[in-house]
Amino acid sequence: MAKDILVTERLTDSMMKAGAELVARLDKNNADVKSAFWFFLSEEQVWKFIVASPQVDTLGPREYYKKINEANLLAEEAENVISLNDISVSNTKNQIVQILKIAIGTDDGISGIRFSRNTINGMFIEDTYIYRSNS
C-alpha cells in the first residue's frame, strides 16, 4: 500500500473507482455496509468517504476502521486505496446518512449516483457521489 489516491477538491474518476472497489472489498469482509458515499465538505473544500454500518455501534469505530484497513490491504492496485484520513465511519443513525436514504435509496448493490446542489428536509447537500444508501 505504497500509494493512496489523491483526494482533491474535484471528485475524480480515480476517487469514484476507489470508492466502488472499497465497498466491494468491505462486502467480501462482511462489513455490513448500509451506506457508502463521497461527501463534499464545502467549508473545508474537501471530499470525505463516508461508510455507515450498524457494526460501528456493535464493534466501535476503532474496530470498524480496522476492517477498512484490512479491506485496503486486499486492494489489487495501490492507487485504488483510500487513506483512512479521508474516510469517516458512522452508524446508520447519522443525519446525513438518513437524509440521503430519504432522497436516494438504493439496493445492496454498488451504484454510482451523483447528487448535487439539493436541499432535503432543510439540509443543503453541496455534492455527493452515492454507492449505497439503504440504511
Domain ranges of the chain: 13-133
* Cα–Cα distance measured from residue 129 to residue 95, given in angstroms and rounded to the nearest whole number: 17
37 — phi, psi (to 5°)? -165, 155
From first to last of the 135 residues of the chain, give the pLDDT tens digit.
Answer: 445 666 768 899 999 999 999 999 999 999 999 999 999 998 899 999 999 999 999 999 999 999 999 999 998 887 789 999 999 999 999 999 999 998 888 888 899 999 999 998 889 999 999 999 986
Q: Which helix (H) or strand (E) holds 87?
A: strand 87-90
CB atoms within 10 A of CB 62: 9
What size, in residues, is the chain? 135
User: In terms of Cα–Cα distance, which of 60, 75, 82, 88 is closest to 29?
Assistant: 75
